[in-house]
Structure 1
Amino acid sequence: MTYLLEPPVGGIGAENQCGHRPAAADEPDREYRSPRAERIGLAGRSQAKLEATRAALGARAADWPIVIAEAHDPVALAELASRTRVVATTVGPYAKYGTELVTAAVAAGTDYVDLTGEVLFVRASIDAHHEKARANGVKIVHSCGYDSIPSDLGVHVMHQKVQADGAGELTDTTLVASLSGGVSGGTIDSLRTQIDLSRGDAALRRHAASPYSLSPDRTKEPDLGRQSDVAMVDGTDIAPQVRGWKAPFGMGSYNTRIVRRSNALQDWAYGRTFKYREVMSVGDSRLSRLYAAGVAAILGGLVLGLSVPPTRYVLDRLLPAPGEGPSEKTQRNGYFAMDIYTTTTTGARYAARVAAQGDPGYRATAVLLGESALSLVLDRDRLPDAAGVLTPATALGDVLVDRLRGAGMEISARKI
């Protein structure tokens, strides 16, 4: 599904469906922070499915236009991009279905947001489009969901707090993820695609494994030694108050590259000795090391299993299929909390937190993507003065922080 957004043609209201879980027609009205008059369209390849989706959104969506476009039809995509100001797309795996839409957006001068967590797709997008998008004044903003807004904005606000305190630059920084939610079939399919792209191509595998695989210029990156993006970590190695062993975080290998790109795009504002990693909490009991090892084994087994044809055949029948996801109850009861710890070059310690209710990959991500798109539609003149293939922090920055806080998310930083 792709959403097309334009600024309001009338006055500012208080209600809007975009960026949140679609409301059924019989649900009561809810408050939103965007204009009633905003113009939104729905795009996809199936007229019937688009009409069904629009009908489920209630009376306010009844006149939303529907645009039919296939992911590999450049003519239709060019027309789609040319008739809107912002495209928000959830069509993945993006390496399979997203390339032509980015091309169309850049050519049309249309801003773009998506939910990708695919390193190779984003690298290809940077190589193909960054310079032209910058010349055209276009913001191409990948990874505007749970991957990777909490990571990117969490470090962003921490950096701002450190700078405001005159406490130096960031050095060793670790994000600890706590979450509850379901498994997305789309995420699994994106992992399959990444594996397929790099199979038999040693250069692509090396590229994907590099901690600076999304850097604007890897030759200018500092040599900080080995940076392990998938590792078990003792909590006391993160900060004195952190207890228990932490497990590898499944999306850490992607999120870390987005955060490092944000640092480089800002001329290494976080610091030239900024090292960043992400792990996942499995509790702080005496068994936490065992639990962390179990998570590491599961993640490693999943990647290996999807890489080998016989086990992949079995896993493909056990894992959620594309389009499958958690129940409405699971989405409603889920949550995430991302706690980030750093030590600065002056020896000061800081922590940041990004947290919200709702399943991270669905309910919370709907808010993250929607508010990202609305930032581009409604607050374009207040956004950072940057164009090209960007990150959430460098493209949307404090505007998105403010919108997400207004939507009920916690985004904070403090000295500890």
Structure 2
Amino acid sequence: MKIAVYGASGYQGKLVLAEAVRRGLDLVLTGRDAARLRQAAATVGLSGPDIRLAAADDHQALLAAFREADAVVNCAGPFTPTGPAVVRAAIAAGVPYVDTAGEQPYVKAVFDTFGAQAEAAGVSVVPAANDACVPGDLIAALLAERLGPLEEITSIHVITGGGGPSRGSLRSVIESIDIIKAGGLVYDDGDWRVGLPARKTSITLPGGAEAIPVAKFPLTEVVTIPRHVQVRHVEGLAEAALSARLSVPLDPSIIADLPEGPTEQARESQRFTYVLDAVALDGRRARGVVAGPDTYGTTATIAVESARRLVTGPAKPGVLAPAQAYDPAAFLDFLLLHDVRWTIEEDTAGN
């Protein structure tokens, strides 16, 4: 199996390369800078790498690179300005596509723009194959399976440690600053809306003693969950301190002087807890929890596995939410091998 990694020389791209090499997959390294791509290959121990130069606006070069592969993993953020061109090229090449995007407006745009094209071409497209959206979306499917039609699902992210975001993540924040400041899209009564107040202002984590303040945040699973779960309301929340910090505009000129991303040691110290609280139409409640280490490393694992599954067990064509492309419990159980734990408990208080 051969995977084309677009943006292979970036911070997340190199982690995806390392995961693919660890799993014995063949690779096509794609991007704009040959020297950086060769350096990325050397970093992960690839000798004689298959390197294909292609800028995001060079459709023919992208086609040539992607036709040599069985699937595409796009790691080149910010995704809002360049991602659509990469999706378009993958569909034209007839190759399954995933990306590591966390930009909520971009993910919604992929569904809105490419659904019919991907379906007509017989290509499966799964945006936001990252540490949060995939497990969160899969957990939501299992919650709905237990409870039936839902009144609401609230997804909450709590992350500790990690040494700060990568340069690519910070550039994505700049690209998404308006939607971050607005608190993100909320799904409500059949459509996605901006400006609705949060239904929760705090959360108590499993085993926690004190409530943690939370605020609205543009999570990508808010875009994916309503596509396969019968639910009236879906919103995303994050720690209030994180939301406030990322709502402050960044000066793009300072990002280039920052470290490329957190060190391996910092990543090893990071822990994430993603909670999905669901309320059924009849008032019954359940809580799904996903917890693990290293958001960037987990994203690499999920992106590679997402692409691999699209090749070995093809999903239906079109732009798909994770739970539409993969068996939820099977994928979540795969993540147990990578220290990502998941649970579902019914009749919780949903604090």
TM-score after normalising by structure 1: 0.69
Shift of 1:276: 2.3
Correspondence 1:192-211 to 2 at 5 A: 192-195=174-177, 210-211=185-186
Distance in 2 (CA, whole Å) between partners of 1:4 and 1:31 is 12
Match of 2:53 among 68, 74, 83: 68
Aligned partner (choices 167, 173, 180) of residue 185 of structure 1 = 167
Deviation at 1:411, TM superposition (A): 2.5
The alignment's C-alpha RMSD in Å is 3.7
Contact 2:186 2:192 in 1 (8 A): no
The equivalent of 2:149 in structure 1 is 169
What are the residue-to-residue correspondences of 1:215-230 with 2, within 5 Å?
Answer: 221=190, 227-228=196-197
Q: Cα–Cα, structure 1 residues 84 and 195, in superposed 2: closer, same or farther, change >3 Å?
A: same
Partner of 1:263: 226
Quote the offset at 1:352 in angstroms. 1.0
Unaligned runs of 5+ in 1: 6-17, 24-29, 199-204, 213-217, 282-291, 307-311
Asked whether the equivalents of residues 54 and 61 of structure 2 are also in contact (C-alpha less than 8 Å), the reply is yes
Q: Cα deviation per residue 1:260-290 (whole Å; 9 max; x = unaligned)?
A: xx323x3xxx3343x2223335xxxxxxxxx
Counterparts of 2:186 and 2:237, CA distance in 1: 15
Match of 2:280 in 1: 344
Gaps of 5+ in 2: 6-13
What is the DSSP-based 3-state SS (H/G/I as helix, E as strand, rest coil) of the residue aligned with 2:128? coil
Q: Is 1:365 the counterpart of 2:333 in the alignment? A: no
1:396 aligns with 2:326: yes
1:184–1:320 CA contact under 8 A, matched in 2: no
CA deviation profile, 1:115-140 (whole Å, cap 9, x unmatched): 12223333443343210111122111
Matched position secondary structure for 2:275: strand
Tell me: CA distance 1:272–1:154, structure 2 relative to 1, closer, same or farther (3 Å): closer
Matched residue SS, 1:4: strand
Structure 2 matches for 1:71-90, cutoff 5 A?
71-90=56-75
How many Å separate the matches in 1 of 2:257 and 2:271? 23
CA distance in 2, matches of 1:76, 1:224: 37
Residue 356 of structure 1 is matched in structure 2 by 292
Higher strand residue share: 2
Larger Rg: 1
* Corresponding position of 1:280: 238
What is the 5 A alignment of 1:5-404? Answer: 22=18, 34=23, 36=24, 38-58=25-45, 61-160=46-145, 162=146, 167-180=147-160, 181=162, 182-195=164-177, 210-212=185-187, 221=190, 227-228=196-197, 233-235=201-203, 243-248=210-215, 252-259=217-224, 262-264=225-227, 266=228, 270-273=229-232, 275-281=233-239, 292=240, 297-300=244-247, 302=248, 306=249, 315-317=251-253, 324-358=260-294, 360=295, 362-380=296-314, 383=315, 386-398=316-328, 399-404=330-335
Q: Tell me the SS of whatever aligns to 2:186.
A: coil
Q: Secondary structure at the match of 2:56?
A: coil
CA contact (8 A) 2:219 2:236 kept: no
1:43–1:66 CA contact under 8 A, matched in 2: yes
Q: Alignment partner of 2:219: what SS?
A: helix
Task: State percent identity of aligned pairs.
Answer: 24
Across the two proteins, how many residue pairs are aligned to each other?
A: 334
